[in-house]
Amino acid sequence: MKTNEQYLELQAYADGQLDQLEGLPPGRRAELERMMADDAEARGLVEGVRSLSQLVRANEPVHTVPASREFYWSQIQRKIESAERARTRAQTPASPRGFWLRWWLPVLGASAVAVTSFLVSVGGLPITRAFGETAVSDRGSDSSGAVVFRSESEGVTICWLD
Amino acid sequence: MKSTIARLLVAGLFAWSIGLLALGAAPATELKLRSQLVWGTDGSKPDGKDLVELDAKLKDKLKALRWKNYWVIKSEDTRVVGKEPRKAMLDKCAVELSDVGNGHLEVKLYSVGADGKLKLLRTVTEPIEKLVKGGTLIIGGDSKDTWDDAWMVIITMSH
């Protein structure tokens, strides 16, 4: 029968972390090695911990995300932001100021989009170059959200719908 | 001398007017576009479906998306001339393509309901020059039916 302290020391020995244990008396490693030579239970515990560790390392599942890292995370970020917006809307009580904001913000937004479109059409604002190869949030004229990804080097534009 | 200058001016104005008229009367550029509805999956080709593997050159352009396999469900070539919208029906969705006149192609993506009615999902504009130079426009989304799969409509020039 071993104490909890002995079990911890044996596990740390198996993991190669014995030296990191606090308050370990000098010469303890040699004592543990002697214990393992004489004691089948101690030896079995160390071997068990080592084989379990190897098994975990060898069989750790690898999940490859089905998109580039930036694109994948921008989608998740967009979903989180969308959920937060919905929650905030639900919690915000109606007020006269909110009423005006609700009606004027879309008008201002549409104006901004119109001006931007005009600038792009006359070649004054190279939006795609400004964003480069990054994913940007985009909300079109309809109610659905989307993530737009542009790669100038590949000549690819991806509009990913929520 | 004065009359020569006056004649030159009149001739110049005449040539300029003819040029303007010719520009106005010039036929709109025809765009030959290919719209493909594509299924992105890590799985194998679904049984019993007549799907074609996506062209290797186009697949190479989908580096931002990392599905292993891309299967073309339906492909349709469309000729777009000017602002007149042209539809390409792609199985459960449709795209409406039109040259909006400021150097941009407008793409309207619709879903096709069970009753055949079209519902607008998204409007996207893309510079025509980019497409002409070999660019690719992709509108897609995650599959609602199969976890980890995706659908996408790929628009390129048709050669």
Q: What is the pTM of this model?
A: 0.53
Q: Is residue B20 part of a domain?
A: no
CA distances from A162 to A29, A136, B8, B10 (A): 58, 13, 63, 61
Q: Identify which of A144, A154, A161 has the shortest CB distance to residue B61.
A: A154
Q: Is residue B82 part of a domain?
A: yes
Q: Is residue B11 part of a domain?
A: no
Give, for all 162 residues of chain A, the pLDDT tens digit. 678 888 888 889 988 888 888 888 888 889 989 988 999 989 998 999 998 888 888 887 777 666 677 777 777 777 787 788 778 877 766 555 556 666 676 777 777 666 655 544 443 332 222 233 434 444 444 445 788 888 888 889 999 887
**Domain housing B73:** 29-157
Number of domains in chain B: 1
For an interface test with A, which of B139, B155, B157 has the most A Cβ atoms less than 10 Å from its Cβ?
B139
Q: Is residue B35 part of a domain?
A: yes
Take residue B69 and report the two structure tokens written for it.
Answer: 């396999």
**Rounded distance, CA A110 to CA A101, Å?**
14
Does ipTM exceed 0.85?
no
Closest residue in chain B to residue A148, using alpha carbons only = B139
Residue A98 C-alpha, separation from nearest chain B C-alpha, in angstroms? 28
| Residues of chain B with C-beta less than 8 angstroms from the C-beta of A71 | 64-65
Take residue B66 and report the two structure tokens written for it.
Answer: 């990392």
Q: Is residue B19 part of a domain?
A: no
Task: Please choose, from the candidates B3, B16, B29, B18, the residue with its C-alpha nearest in 3D space to the C-alpha of residue B104.
Answer: B29
Give me the mean pLDDT over the B41-65 stretch.
85
The answer to whether B45 and B87 have CB atoms below 8 angstroms apart is no
Take residue B57 and report the two structure tokens written for it.
Answer: 């050159």
Q: Is residue B38 part of a domain?
A: yes
Q: Is residue B13 part of a domain?
A: no
The radius of gyration of chain A from alpha carbons, rounded to an integer in Å, stands at 30
